[in-house]
Amino acid sequence: MKVVLFCGGLGTRLREYSETIPKPLVTIGYRPILWNLMRYYAHYGHKDFILCLGYRGDMIKDFFLNYDECVSNDFVLSNGGKDVELLSSDIHDWRITFVETGTQSNIGQRLVAVKEHLKGEECFMANYSDGLSDLPLDKYLDKFFSTNTTAGFVGVHTLHSFHAVHTDPTGIVDRIGSLSSSEILVNGGFFVLKNKIFDYINDGEELVEEPFQRLIAEKQLFGYEYNGFWRAMDTFKDKITFDEMSSKGNTPWEVWKK
Burial 179-210 (b: 16+ CB within 10 A, else e): beebeebeebbbbbbbeebeebbeeebebbee
Sign of CA dihedral 145, 149, 154, 156: negative
Q: Is 251:40 a contact under the CB 8 Å cutoff?
A: no
- DSSP codes, 15-50: HHHHTTS-GGG-EETTEEHHHHHHHHHHHTT--EEE
State the Cα–Cα distance between residues 134 and 56, nearest whole angstrom.
Answer: 28
| pLDDT confidence of residue 234 | 83
| Amino acid 89: pLDDT | 77
Strand partners, 85: 76
pLDDT for the residue numbered 88: 77
Give the pLDDT of residue 81. Answer: 76
Q: Tell me the longest C-alpha to C-alpha distance in the chain.
A: 80
pLDDT digit string (tens) for the chain, length 258 residues: 999 999 977 655 555 555 678 889 999 988 899 999 999 999 999 999 999 998 888 999 999 998 887 777 788 988 877 788 888 778 889 999 999 999 888 999 999 999 999 999 999 999 999 899 999 999 999 999 999 999 999 998 776 656 677 777 876 677 777 665 556 778 899 999 999 999 999 999 999 999 999 999 999 999 999 999 999 988 888 899 999 999 999 999 999 988
The DSSP code sequence of 207-257 is TTTHHHHHHHHTT-EEEEEE-S-EEE--SHHHHHHHHHHHHTT--TT-GGG
CA–CA separation, 204 and 90 (whole Å): 36
- Distances in Å between the Cα of 145 and the Cα atoms of 69, 138, 149, 192 are 36, 11, 7, 9
2-75+83-153+187-257 fold: Spore Coat Polysaccharide Biosynthesis Protein SpsA; Chain A (3.90.550)
Q: Please state the pTM of the whole predicted model.
A: 0.87
Q: Using CA atoms, how far apart are residues 2 and 7, in angstroms rounded to an integer?
A: 16
C-alpha dist (Å) from residue 173 to 117, 155, 162: 52, 26, 16
